[in-house]
Structure 1
């Protein structure tokens, strides 16, 4: 059985959307929703605002209630019938995220065994046939086939096959001829 590894933030979980809501509701900003959805926050926010965002991300509970990406649960469940599914999330930068992320995965993706959840830093250690991730740095170091999941911070990237939704993931992996 082929192995398919999935990133969590901005692939399974709509982390950027939660951050947008924080910026729009809690920051003094003139940025619009459209601007925040079309660029990386690091390119839009003042350094002091970025520091505040990093503090918020590192607070216990931040990752506990992030919305699931549309169609992710159903698609991953279908994929699990044909692929060995792993989740690899680079959470070493935010050590308070471990419990939240584990509980979030158990809540939304309880069909993925705990043995197939990998908390890591650098994803070059992942031994899998495919990796779906939103960061090119993870895909570049990956030895299998990397697939870029569209996010505001990677819109200009052209070096990897791209998917923009879980429906596209389904088409790519479940509806092959």
Structure 2
């Protein structure tokens, strides 16, 4: 059976959406996900500068508890689980508080994924699978299988990878 490794943040869950909400609250800004998915480089740079100065909330308990699930993620991953061996792979150790929160999140929103199919690591270079669905080039560049870049505001400039912009795109490619 072929194996798919799936990232959590900005792939299964809308982490950037929650980051935007926190930055807007902290800095009294009004950024939207749609703004950041545009080609407005000045707007994106302004957000990124605010993010770098105000992102300590990522290390605070509770941030990863209520990340919204990406549209269609549950249904497509559930269908993939019938035909592939699914592993959730997250570089969660960067944010130690996220470990328990991410396990709880997966149990709540993706209860069909066994604890035996969850991998928390610092870097994904050791992951062996047929496919890796991820939003960060640093994880895809060393991957030896077929990398699929999941679109997010921070990776729209990348052109070296096959891109999926939604879980519907994943469904078309892999089912």
Residue 71 in 1 paired to residue 49 in 2?
no
Aligned residue for 1:75, secondary structure, equals helix
**Structure-2 residue corresponding to 1:159:** 160
Aligned residue for 2:125, secondary structure, equals helix
1:98-146 CA deviation, whole Å, 9 max, x = no partner? 0101110111111011011000011011011100000011000111110
**Structure-1 residue corresponding to 2:5:** 5
**Structure-2 residue corresponding to 1:117:** 118
Deviation at 1:4, TM superposition (A): 0.4
The farther-off stretch of 33-42 and 8-17 is 33-42
1:64-91 CA deviation, whole Å, 9 max, x = no partner? 0000000000100000000000000001
| Preserved contact between residue 42 and residue 50 of structure 1 (Cα < 8 Å) | no
Residue 27 in 1 paired to residue 21 in 2?
no
**Structure-2 residue corresponding to 1:15:** 15
| Preserved contact between residue 36 and residue 44 of structure 2 (Cα < 8 Å) | no
**Structure-2 residue corresponding to 1:88:** 89
List gaps (5 residues or longer) in structure 1. none
Return the TM-score normalized by structure 1.
0.90
What is the root-mean-square deviation of aligned Cα atoms in Å? Answer: 1.9
Distance 1:116 1:42, change over 3 A: farther
Return the TM-score normalized by structure 2.
0.91
List gaps (5 residues or longer) in structure 2. none
Deviation at 1:17, TM superposition (A): 0.6
